Structure 1
């Protein structure tokens, strides 16, 4: 074991850590980065933008480390939200697991590996790292049970820590949901792969299905169209323009500042005529208005329910024996919806997921085989070289 190389590696890692912590301490104090590091506090008004003295902005201050260490979970929940608390809990759980692994390995595994063969050991700093690995044991050694026992201890402790950690996070999440205000997405379910019927539209199919099976809790639904949200707004604008042209062509009144016997003594224009003659606009039927682009329904719908429990039940229950039809999931937040992805057929989406999984596995093996080959070649070279 080269102690000098080990100390050099440790020193480099410590220096990099100090540099990164100093950079963070400096960058977080820049006024331009307040929206990045103090966004929630800025939105709530607890922190205001200020421009401290230049020497304070560019001098690293480790005081935030002490504040972060002393901050409780409740304070972090109020300041940064539930996601930050969950992230910190995951880091703490990882440190606990690593501590258990370190204690078990130092107490049981390393001594067994070190004394696995009857050799004359040198001083520790002169030994190679191979004497601390399982390679130092004889084949069919009776001390292999120590490794198995260590694995069982580490696995059992990890499962127990993960269980209690997940239980704690679940309680906090349920408390956060109960205390937070209700949102429309909590009462909405996203339905995909709606079966096509030649006799009725997708909207009628959804209405009939949920009226039959979820009549006490079903409220209404909203279909997703091929043209998208922006195109729908454009179509609505075209309808309004055509309605205004239809009304203005029937009325024999030109825009003028003079009084008119039809419009009254006040000055008027076409918009005032349309407002005064709203009844004539109401008599128009939308079927009479022709559009160059027609809206097409997609087999995707947002279904609304009366309670959050009903929406959760629908999202978790298998609707039909065919799992590729009537696929239900809790609806995302409105700003998280990617409308183009909703137009992708569910079967194609399922195939894309499989292709992504296969690609990830293939990439793992493409990376694994060269690394294993290089490592094995190095080991053979070390054994052959005198």
Structure 2
């Protein structure tokens, strides 16, 4: 790719960015779009639609950008929770790292790279290849390479300092958030799996007998998981029918409200579609209630249960101590928030969960391999010579300067981003099939999959694909090819459904450390190829120091994100002893982990879904 193609891509992206900002600024003011751009404020009753005409609505204004950045962390924490704060800290951390790296790269390294070879000049600069701005343009053994050596150490030092600062800052926020939060069901609850089957005794009875015997002073209640796959299917059908009925009522007219029944709608009288759907919905809801009653009273139990305790410390003790001599029985894990529970896999057998994990691993590997096709194609678009080989019929069009700049500079990134946009939802689907029992664990697993997918396909494969198209790739030459090829790469909407307390930050920390070590290993290879062995040798301690830094952070901060200390739990329990609302909280805790599919659903009585417990707490 030449410099002018890159600048064309930057210009197109900048123009599109301004266009989208302008459109957003105008569309967000229109009364009909209030539910689209600020649905959370509408749902909370903070903002209402206004039909009064105002000329200011038709003019773009940048004030919303300033207001978006003026929101303090305290306001964000109170409105959206700690996860939202951590998400913003991720943006702040990234901006700081890339600002430092960008300044060093653009104002120091790029000029040094460009003048690296003696015959480099500034004539015809727009048509210069980007290779002339990379370290590959610096002479072998040149003293200018020591600037790159210092830059590697400086960027690593800045990144590690910022990582340490953010880890400590978010850790303190996590502890403070725990102390200031109201009692939450998941703080008093654990999930028990592998409940042994006993002849003549239900799983519910086994749980009660076991915890009354071994945790009599702290045990409060339990809720056994039941087979509800059929219920979820009925609820899904009812949801679809209810949404379709609501849509028909919202746009009801004489032509759409009636249709003929019978074979192909030819021989029967016309019937009212809305009335027909309402009757079907009533029948479906009645069948659903009958099935719910049967499941709640006589449904098949699953060897898993949510066990609630009278204190956080009691739940923590039960969580961390092996409950049985047989480690495969009475297995405990931290319960997620009630709204965070992913119910489908509770009903799955051990064999199904194991097969699902294998299928997901194979499917992920297949996706990574298949994605090489668009990556190789996109890499070919960045080179005119290669593009003419792949698509010879475009040779005459590519002679037009602007067309060639758009195709080689902008089109590859557009195609690649399109394919990349499909990856996260696919990875989330794979993770949901892997046996996790919470939405947050599914999203964390999907994040790791997307991370590794990006590392392989967008980093290694994109760099190496040009060599794949031209010559046979010898695996022994991958380090040297990387060393040469890499220097040539460039509150109003969402309402949180669950809160993890900032548990996503370690993913950011680990991925940043991995990126630093990868950069350092590549730098070692570069200095070796550039015949600067001393710099290559002095780079060796840097990845080791980075690993030591990461290990220190793992020991110092990571445990805070995995579990709360006995000091924190006991302190919080003592604070709650004087809280008069704790009695009411424990009453609600008894039914907090009931499967939503066993709760009554009223479609026909109200315009929305109305939930009420099918059984009283005394029936548990």
SS of corresponding position for 1:161: helix
| Structure 1 residue 304 corresponds to structure 2 residue 315 | no
| Structure 1 residue 100 corresponds to structure 2 residue 104 | no
State the match for 1:356 in structure 2.
360
State the match for 2:290 in structure 1.
234
State the match for 2:332 in structure 1.
328
| Structure 1 residue 131 corresponds to structure 2 residue 116 | no
Cα 1:238–1:348 shift into 2, 3 Å = closer
State the match for 1:275 in structure 2.
none
Pairwise CA distance, 1:165: 1.9
Residues 98-125 of structure 1: CA deviation (Å, up to 9, x unaligned): 1121133245533453344443434454
Out of 229-238 and 210-219, give the one that drifted further: 229-238
Contact 2:3 2:130 in 1 (8 A): no
Out of 313-322 and 130-139, give the one that drifted further: 313-322
Aligned counterparts of 1:323 and 1:152: Cα–Cα separation in 2 = 47
Aligned counterparts of 1:301 and 1:10: Cα–Cα separation in 2 = 55
User: 5 Å matches for 1:361-372?
Assistant: 361-368=365-372, 371=376, 372=461
Contact 1:193 1:299 in 2 (8 A): yes
State the match for 2:345 in structure 1.
341
User: 5 Å matches for 1:1-386?
Assistant: 4-53=4-53, 55-106=55-106, 109-123=109-123, 124-125=125-126, 127-138=128-139, 146-198=147-199, 200-227=201-228, 234=290, 294-315=298-319, 319=323, 325-346=329-350, 348-368=352-372, 371=376, 372=461, 374-376=465-467
Structure with larger Rg = 1
SS of corresponding position for 1:220: strand
Aligned counterparts of 2:365 and 2:330: Cα–Cα separation in 1 = 30
SS of corresponding position for 1:234: helix
Pairwise CA distance, 1:4: 4.5
Cα 1:229–1:376 shift into 2, 3 Å = closer
Aligned counterparts of 1:345 and 1:172: Cα–Cα separation in 2 = 39
Contact 1:232 1:295 in 2 (8 A): no
Aligned counterparts of 2:132 and 2:38: Cα–Cα separation in 1 = 50
Aligned counterparts of 2:138 and 2:292: Cα–Cα separation in 1 = 78
User: Structure 2 unaligned runs (5+)?
Assistant: 232-286, 377-460, 472-620
Residues 187-211 of structure 1: CA deviation (Å, up to 9, x unaligned): 2222223233446432233234333
SS of corresponding position for 2:225: strand
Cα 1:236–1:133 shift into 2, 3 Å = closer
Out of 355-364 and 297-306, give the one that drifted further: 355-364
RMSD: 3.8
Pairwise CA distance, 1:16: 1.0
Pairwise CA distance, 1:83: 3.6
Cα 1:318–1:36 shift into 2, 3 Å = farther
Pairwise CA distance, 1:96: 0.7
Aligned counterparts of 1:367 and 1:153: Cα–Cα separation in 2 = 35
Pairwise CA distance, 1:32: 4.5
Cα 1:190–1:89 shift into 2, 3 Å = same
Aligned counterparts of 1:114 and 1:67: Cα–Cα separation in 2 = 42
Aligned counterparts of 1:99 and 1:223: Cα–Cα separation in 2 = 52
